[in-house]
Structure 1
């Protein structure tokens, strides 16, 4: 006669033998362990023996709740130390936090070192555009202290997580901060990269936007705001697309033969009157923000073309490099790039110079 097992102590849960599956087949593991009512009577699994099920109940620990990077940042903002910060410092933290958009919804347990370091590297490599008193837009490098704010933000988030016994390792300690004086090499797109982008277009339409940026040298903001009405396919010109400065108002770009068909296609497909538009799930279209462009258009286009990740400003670097080594003069290149370093003589012959620039620009193969 089988020995009757003792009733389990209150709060332990229950063990039940279930011989058959819902389909009527004999189970290999027939002992079901179930948590007590206080814990929701949840099944924790089926086990081969009664003792295996009992051991599982005794040693059961509730899994740690998933908590995201954004939730931890919100907890930090609720602390007294954050509330005592000046409005200016709080705004800087908020700006830094927005740069980590890719990890906002990720569990703190799933975030890898590279997820965080990539954000710092991108800020360092992209830099920013500054309008000088002369009206020229100059590309600047972020200082080390500016990039270091991102590391400080991550440190605050990880400190909250460690204090609440969610994690043990503080990844912020290992983040490397670059900036002015610690400049990394700027990458450009190679001939092979460009060929891959062209070849991928049939299954990777967003590659067209990357190629347009490469062959126009436009800043990302200029391209996102480019209206189709400013694109003249008959004269191969793009007019009035620059920033609202002296340089921007007079800026003109020529459509290179290698992207003319792409421009024509995008102009024809435009619904809102802009060169770049994104599709909604319901089939509608909208104008993408900078973040959406990077996350959903630019970087996926590189990935689908099997091109190594390069920041959007690499397109502008590539344009300048190709133009320079193709023999375009500095004066013509400055005009194409939208710079204002012209002497009086050059400005006096602006119409003649336009024709000259077009001939020079056509040298790019």
Structure 2
């Protein structure tokens, strides 16, 4: 599509640059760069918005595409909800799964186009969770599109994901393996597995836990970053792992879980450590199996079901539990210490 005179231009710069695309405008006979971008679509969006605001120029016949919607929606979503880095990464991956839609105008995208994306994800052998992430992205994008009047329909809620078949069912640690963990505390990182087992934390919650969120005197941890609203909670420190927490507090670094230099772990780096530890204790467990272990141990100890939900950060299924039943730290500590 030919752009009008004075509209400006988008060019790709040479070399290995983080933001290789630049939007240029002519001023006094020279081209002046206004902004730099990671992708051409982001640059084109900026150019369109700039001309609409400063020159009252709109490209005739332009139809907003799926990719343009994504790059308009993402800054809005980040500004409003401040999603975690892991969530942003999942959006990026889900967007790449929608490659067949990228150049399509929104008004031409129908239900069968979106369902084909889901079917392609399933055909590649990706998990039910991956399908859900794609559907979630589509729903968020089209809700934004309707709000901004770029489109008038959101088919995401109608998409069929198929049955959820567990790729590898989660399994709790056996008592023998838990005892083996306790007998190998001299191995760097073994304590993190025991902390996960005796708190029921998600691994992301543990890695985001700063020392400011650890209250040794009151013997509890405060989770301030979690994947769900119910995950924001206080967890009593089990008597058996209290020395492990104390040792971590006295080590270098801002975060509770850090290496000898005080550097924190992201999920990828911790998974490398986890795989190494599994080989050392001759076991095959996932990080999430620790959470299942905590739930199983609480069940075996006949802990109060509502206390169990509070510790694990599950939302209550019963309105009475949600609204009227309150468990203070003393009661939660009593429940967690039933685990042996």
Normalised to the residue count of structure 2, the TM-score between the two structures is 0.51
Equivalence map 1:57-96=2 (5 Å): 91-92=93-94
- 2:269 corresponds in structure 1 to 292
Decide whether aligned partners of structure 1 residues 243 and 93 sit closer, same or farther in structure 2, where only a CA change above 3 A counts. Answer: closer
Aligned to 2:183: 199
Match of 2:338 in 1: 363
Deviations 1:174-219 (A, max 9, x none): xxxx9823554322111111111111122x1210111111111111
- SS of the residue aligned with 1:277? coil
Larger Rg: 1
State the partner residue of 1:239: 222
CA contact (8 A) 1:253 1:336 kept: yes
- Alignment partner of 1:274 is 2:255: yes
Superposed displacement of residue 354, structure 1: 3.5
Mean Cα displacement is larger for which, 256-265 or 341-350? 341-350
Aligned to 2:58: none
The reply to whether residue 230 of structure 1 matches residue 207 of structure 2 is: no
How many aligned residue pairs are there? Answer: 201
In structure 2, the CA distance between the partners of 1:217 and 1:179, relative to structure 1 (3 Å rule), is farther
Deviation of the 1:328 alpha carbon: 0.7
Q: Equivalents in 2 of 1:193, 1:199: separation in Å? A: 10
> For 1:1-365, what aligned pairs fall within 5 Å after superposition?
91-92=93-94, 142=129, 180-181=164-165, 183-202=167-186, 204-243=187-226, 246-249=229-232, 251-269=233-251, 271-279=252-260, 284-295=261-272, 297-306=273-282, 308-341=283-316, 343-344=319-320, 347-348=323-324, 350=326, 353-365=328-340
How far is 1:349 from its partner? Answer: 5.2
Distance (Å, rounded) in 2 between the aligned partners of 1:305 and 1:362: 25
Cα distance change, pair 146–348 in 1 and its aligned pair in 2 (3 A)? closer
Cα distance in 1 between the residues matched to 2:166 and 2:216: 43
Secondary structure of the structure 2 residue equivalent to 1:195: helix
How far apart are the structure 2 equivalents of 1:265 and 1:300?
22
CA-based RMSD:
3.5
Unaligned runs of 5+ in 1: 1-85, 96-119, 125-140, 148-177
1:346·1:353 contact (CA, 8 Å) conserved in 2? no
Does the aligned pair in 2 maintain the 1:217–1:316 contact within 8 Å?
yes
SS where residue 270 of structure 2 aligns?
Answer: helix
Q: Do the aligned partners of residues 94 and 309 (structure 1) sit closer, same or farther apart at CA in structure 2, a change above 3 Å counting?
A: farther
- CA spacing shift, 1:274–1:238, aligned 2, 3 Å: same
Q: Which residue of 1 aligns with 2:79?
A: none
Residues 303, 338 of structure 2: 8 Å contact kept: yes
Instruction: Describe the SS at the equivalent of 2:230.
Output: helix
What is the aligned partner in structure 1 of residue 115 from structure 2?
none
